Structure 1
Amino acid sequence: MKKPIIAVALLAASPLVLTACESAEETTSTPAEEGRIAGIEITNARLVLPPVSGNPAAVYFDIANNGDRTLAFRNAEVTGSGKAEVHDTIMEDGKMVMGEAPPILVESGSTVQFAPGGKHVMVFDLGQDVSEGSTVEVTLIAAGNKRHSFDAAVQAAGDAR
């Protein structure tokens, strides 16, 4: 006699369980596209080849953070290269000095420019297949190993930066 009562109770409760599942699905946020960080927009991306073959190249771009949190970018990767480093040029002891940068903070609602004479991604050991007119994939790596990838057009050393 107990089995029919339990079965009736389970059937009566099933709409509540289904409603709870349906509500959970509706409130789930949509994840960022793979290889992208939600709210980050990259514009004006280009890799400028070195004037002397074998020297490092540089990647320049503008990065806008339309998200609601500050992001700290620590590293970069560039397809077709041996390695890439985030660099900055600063005044030190009265001289302009370029070297690896500490994490680059991009605050919510702000834009940071990676440009000649300032922040840039230094690209070492470029492969022979990276040439003017081609594109390379650049991946910026933020704290927490969050990654944001974008394409950069390859330009000759003398082209407008």
Structure 2
Amino acid sequence: MRFPAIFSALLVLAACSPGGDDAPADPVENAWVRLPAVDGRPAAAYFDLNGGEAGDTLLAIDSPRVETIELHETMEMEGGMDGAMRMQPVMSVEIPADETVSFAPGGLHAMLFDIDDDVTPGTPLTLNFRFDSGRDIQVEAVTIGAGDEPPFSDENN
């Protein structure tokens, strides 16, 4: 008679365990940093943010190895030269429920000012993402040199 009780317990545990297609996506994916070509200049971070079932808002990013991180958006200049771009700081970024917001070259990105000198291409860089929901997510970003190919395919960035 113990077999049915053990079998029932295993079924309950299996039903509660995450996995498969129903598992929620990581809130931050594909994080990478393009280091500056010139020492003393800022680097740029790119990543994908998943809104999950409820959505959320990215408020800030910090790192123990970076003095300041700002959220920015690249925009075409109005009334300027055709195709000229400029960057504009943004205070937060809304991530709608069941959607992904990509931070990619030419769009949303994070500017990293005063990175530790020992961060070189290939050095993992810890980034801490703070959300309006109260979640703090820590990820290890891949670092690449200024002229290197992005570590993730274009369809992810």
How does the TM-score come out when normalised to structure 1? 0.69
Q: Does 1:76 align with 2:65?
A: no
Q: CA deviation at 1:61?
A: 1.1
Residue pairs, 1:133-148, within 5 angstroms: 133-148=122-137
The answer as to 2:32 corresponding to 1:61 is: no
Distance 1:60 1:94 in 2: 28
Q: Quick check: which one's helix share is greater?
A: 1
Indicate the larger mover: 84-93 or 48-57.
Answer: 84-93
Residue 93 (str. 1) matches residue 78 (str. 2): yes
Which residue does the alignment assign to 2:110? Answer: 121
Q: Pick from 138, 141, 152 the counterpart of residue 149 of structure 1.
A: 138
Shift of 1:144: 4.8
Contact persistence 1:40–1:65 (CA under 8 A)? no
Question: 1: CA distance between counterparts of 2:113 and 2:44?
Answer: 9
Kept in 1, the 8 Å contact 2:123–2:143? The answer is: yes
**Aligned equivalents of 1:76, 1:86: Cα separation in 2:** 8
RMSD: 2.0
C-alpha displacement at 1:160, in angstroms? 1.3
Rg comparison, structure with higher value: 1
Matched residue, 2:35: 49
2-side partners of 1:145 and 1:42: how far apart?
15
Q: Quick one: which amino acid aligns to residue 72 of structure 1?
A: T
| TM-superposed deviation, 1:92 | 4.4
Cα distance in 1 for residues equivalent to 2:97 and 2:133: 17
1:101-127 CA distance string (max 9 Å, x none): 132111111111111111111000011
Aligned length: 124
Paired residues of 1:80 and 1:129 also in contact (CA < 8 A) = no
Identity %: 29
Name the CA distance, whole Å, in 1 between partners of 2:37 and 2:100: 29
Contact 2:57 2:133 in 1 (8 A): no
> Which blocks of at least 5 consecutive residues in structure 2 are unaligned?
1-15, 17-23, 151-157
